[in-house]
């Protein structure tokens, strides 16, 4: 009998998880599978989940939460044949949006039982961190740090963090040195994105040609943007035409080094890594198997 491990973040998305847990139990009964439920606690989660995986040898592991929960589980499955199912119940749900997974939790759970698994890339950051969706320096990373310091969750909390960060935008403008494709470039920028996918969970497309399984990633440089031009840039992001902006430069590569002249906040899949001055990024191709409704079309 198949055994599924469900890793549930009880505070993600500011949603009560009792209905989700009931759905999990009902569907495991429907599909005649054994299951184990494991709640994250915020401390020693990686070690606890890793030990549980080793003890149970589950046939599938399902992450129920936002991008941070998915990242936590996914990096334990790199190079493994065990597929990762995703139930997006976080605040922004960026990776699930990029994968076109169902937003409805029951539909997402159904997919975890009967969907097929396909491999996607991972981006190794320095020694031990990974990006599966997006990472960035600067404005967005500062916004996420502000969001984490707030006791509430959900999109309204994200909006509040956005406007607070917008008031302090000038504090994130820095000089970035980017080494990629045997070339070195220096930029003055408000934000530098490392994109494994095309869009954020909000729907904003920041790297239109990014794919999760193409063996490359994109570095998206947002040059200092006057507030009067910000609305047009935001609109172009939601229309998918951001690469035409004079304030944006996109570099496609498979490895890079990024340095900043002063420490800036850096985030990985919606989780703040604190302030950093330097990162190294390298692609690991098709190293994570994810349960999808269909193979991603080129």
Residue 100 structure tokens:
């076109």
- Of 161, 166, 137, the C-alpha closest to 226 is 166
* Nearby residues of 138 by Cβ (< 8 Å), 6 or more positions away: 172, 173, 174, 189, 190, 191, 192, 222, 264, 265
Answer whether 94's CB lies under 8 Å from 36's CB: no
17 vs 297 pLDDT, higher one: 17
- Provide the β-strand partners of residue 220: 193, 250
Residue 76 structure tokens:
């334990």
- Provide the β-strand partners of residue 288: 120
- Check residue 146 and give its pLDDT: 76
* Nearby residues of 240 by Cβ (< 8 Å), 6 or more positions away: 205, 208
- Of 50-64, 100-114, 123-137, 230-244, where does mean pLDDT reach its minimum? 230-244
- Provide the β-strand partners of residue 171: none
Per-residue pLDDT tens over the stretch 2-15: 999 999 999 887 67
Give the SS3 label for residue 277: strand
Helix, strand, coil percentages, rounded to 5, for the chain: 30, 35, 30
How far is it, in rounded angstroms, from Cα 196 to Cα 69?
Answer: 17
Per-residue pLDDT tens over the stretch 81-102: 999 999 999 877 999 999 999 9
Residue 61: pLDDT over 50: yes
- Check residue 295 and give its pLDDT: 54
In order of start, what are the domains of the chain with their CATH numbers?
3-121+288-292 (3.40.50.10330), 129-285 (2.60.200.40)
Section 198-221 average pLDDT:
94
Show the beta-strand stretches assigned E in 34-108. 34-39, 60-65, 84-88
- Provide the β-strand partners of residue 63: 7, 86
């Amino acid at each position: 009998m198949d055994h599924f491990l469900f890793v549930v973040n009880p505070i993600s998305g500011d949603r009560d998880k009792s209905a989700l847990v009931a759905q999990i139990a009902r569907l495991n009964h429907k599909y005649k599978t054994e299951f184990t439920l494991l709640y994250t606690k915020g401390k020693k989660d990686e070690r606890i989940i890793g030990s549980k995986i080793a003890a149970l040898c589950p046939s599938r592991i399902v992450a129920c939460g936002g991008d941070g929960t998915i990242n936590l589980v996914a990096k334990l499955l790199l190079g493994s044949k065990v597929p990762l199912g995703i139930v997006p119940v976080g605040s922004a749900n960026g990776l699930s949006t990029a994968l076109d997974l169902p937003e409805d939790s029951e539909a997402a759970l159904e997919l975890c039982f009967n969907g097929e698994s396909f491999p996607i890339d991972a981006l190794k950051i320095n020694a031990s961190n990974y990006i599966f969706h997006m990472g960035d320096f600067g404005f967005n990373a500062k916004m996420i740090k502000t969001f984490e310091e707030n006791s509430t969750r959900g999109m309204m909390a994200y909006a509040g963090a956005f406007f607070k960060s917008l008031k302090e935008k000038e504090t994130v403008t820095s000089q970035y040195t980017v080494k990629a494709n045997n070339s070195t470039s220096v930029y003055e920028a408000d934000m530098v994105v490392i994109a494994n996918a095309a869009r954020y969970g909000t729907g904003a497309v920041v790297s239109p040609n990014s794919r999760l399984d193409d063996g490359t990633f994109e570095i998206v440089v947002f040059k200092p943007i006057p507030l009067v031009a910000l609305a047009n840039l935001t609109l172009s992001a939601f229309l998918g035409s951001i690469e035409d902006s004079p304030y944006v430069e996109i570099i496609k590569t498979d490895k890079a080094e990024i340095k900043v002249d002063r420490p800036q906040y850096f985030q990985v899949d919606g989780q703040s890594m604190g302030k950093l001055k330097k990162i190294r990024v390298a692609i690991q191709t098709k190293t994570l198997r994810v349960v999808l409704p269909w193979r991603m079309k080129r």
